[in-house]
Amino acid sequence: MAIAAIVGRPNVGKSSLFNRLIGRRESIVDDAPGVTRDRIYGEAEWRDRSFYVIDTGGILGEESAFSAGIRAHVEAAIEECDAIVMVLDGQAGVTAADEEVAHLLRRSRKPVIVAANKLDDIKHDDSANEAYELGFEHVVPISALHKRNLEDLLDLLTELLPDEKLQEEATDEVRLAIVGKPNVGKSSMLNGLAGAERSLVSPVAGTTRDPVDTAVTLEGQRFRIVDTAGLRRRGRMDSALEYYSFVRTLAAVDRCDVALLLMDAQDPCTDQDKKIAAHVVEKGKGLVLILNKWDLVTGERPGDNLTKRIRDDMPFLSWAPILFTSAKSGRGLQRIAQTVLAVREARRRRIPTNVLNRLMRDVLAFDRLPSNRKGRSLRIYYCSQADTEPPTFIFFVNEPDIVNTAFENHVRNELRRLEDFTGTPLRVFWRGKEKE
């Protein structure tokens, strides 16, 4: 699809406009300048046209710890897009920083629309005329906050985008979320997999606040990778920004097929690692455990020792594959795509009903089935697989309340013995047989 980039100096309303165009709150909106650091991707639709929109960080006039990285992202977005929406503060008029942005855009030779934002009333539209001094043909007075003139902006934008019937090919895309606590190497992992600096890398913990979608092809398969903000304990979230980043990280898990849980190989299995893993399991997503920074680990047979530690500390993840990597050096990254594809395949696996019922007859029938206080034992009539992604099984029994956790885990283990469900949680439900 065609791509439009939103650029401008900090705090002019770029993210607010981005959220309006894609129809949901994706980019963080805050009064503090410089909130959006990475480039954020979203899909917009207008009058039977679909196109991607990129939200970028504000180009900073002053030096900061992130200014060079942010500018690099803006330049990458300009290079990648087909048309540009330059946002400025219509109330403030054209500033020196706006002129700097305009100079950058003129060099790109891409079609540009100047959106003079924060003009809530038609009586203020004359102030937008100053924007013509920047040398661009198209100037539209808008209010992203109040949705004013957004239709005019979209009409013009879709007219400037490539005039081809761009419908996204039906791709079998694997959606992959990179999750973990702050500073375990998630952005470096994304960059290593993508083969480019697509996410801002910094030694400062919590640099990535927004998820960054990146499309890559690995092992002949198209992946859409989401680099997410590091999850911290709620008690340590000292700002609204961190909370919104936390929420969006959970949302990234919700929309992925498989999650890569990155852990520091020098300090794995923290309480926060366990909480993140539990959320992935709760949502029924595939899971691969990544022990990153493997190049810093020393000692005799460290792989065996760490594997044992993870299996002991996280027994509820006995089915999740474990990989040892160094995102910084690239060590072990080549195995990730193959493992993720195997997990995706496992999530789609289906067991025929006759095979399931053979399991019930040949295995479960010989087990000591649970019973209640009255001595009434569980009876299993039949079972079937109701769904995939994740594999979901329904057992029809006489008394669902009799089923205990130990027996349910036993059933899951037997299902895994029957088929390869590596890397995916299994959902098991118990239903009473309807009385005739």
CB 280 within 8 A of CB 251: no
pLDDT in tens, 123-168: 888 889 999 999 999 999 999 999 999 999 999 999 999 865 443 4
Question: In this model, does residue 209 exceed pLDDT 70?
Answer: no
pLDDT in tens, 284-327: 999 999 999 988 887 778 888 899 999 999 999 999 999 999 98
Residue 171 is which amino acid? Answer: T
Architecture per CATH, domain 2-160, reads as 3-Layer(aba) Sandwich (3.40)
pLDDT in tens, 183-198: 888 888 888 888 755 5
pLDDT in tens, 71-120: 777 887 787 788 999 999 999 999 999 999 999 999 999 999 999 999 99
Instruction: Enumerate the domain spans of the chain.
Output: 2-160, 174-347, 353-432
Q: Which residues contact 37 (CB under 8 A, 6 or more apart)?
A: 57, 66, 69, 70, 73, 200, 207, 208, 209, 210
CA-CA distance, 49 to 272, in Å (whole number)?
A: 42
From residue 340, give the alpha-carbon distance in Å to each of 113, 226, 357: 41, 14, 30
Q: What is the DSSP letter of 24?
A: S
CA-CA distance, 72 to 57, in Å (whole number)?
A: 10
φ/ψ region of 180 (left if φ > 0, alpha if ψ in -120 to 50, else beta) reads left
- Regarding the domain delimited by 353-432, which CATH topology (the fold level of the hierarchy) does it fall under? GMP Synthetase; Chain A, domain 3 (3.30.300)
Topology agreement, domain 2-160 and domain 174-347: yes
Helix (H) or strand (E) holding 355: helix 353-362
CB 245 within 8 A of CB 207: no
* pLDDT level of residue 358 (50, 70, 90 thresholds): confident
CB 193 within 8 A of CB 216: yes
CB 339 within 8 A of CB 307: no
Task: Select the more confidently predicted residue: 351 or 71.
Answer: 351
DSSP string, 102-168: HHHHHHHT--EEEEEE---SGGGGGGGGGGGGG--SEEEE-BTTTTBTHHHHHHHHHHHS--S----
The beta strands (E) that lie in 33-82 are given as 40-46, 49-55
**Class of the CATH-defined domain 174-347:** alpha beta
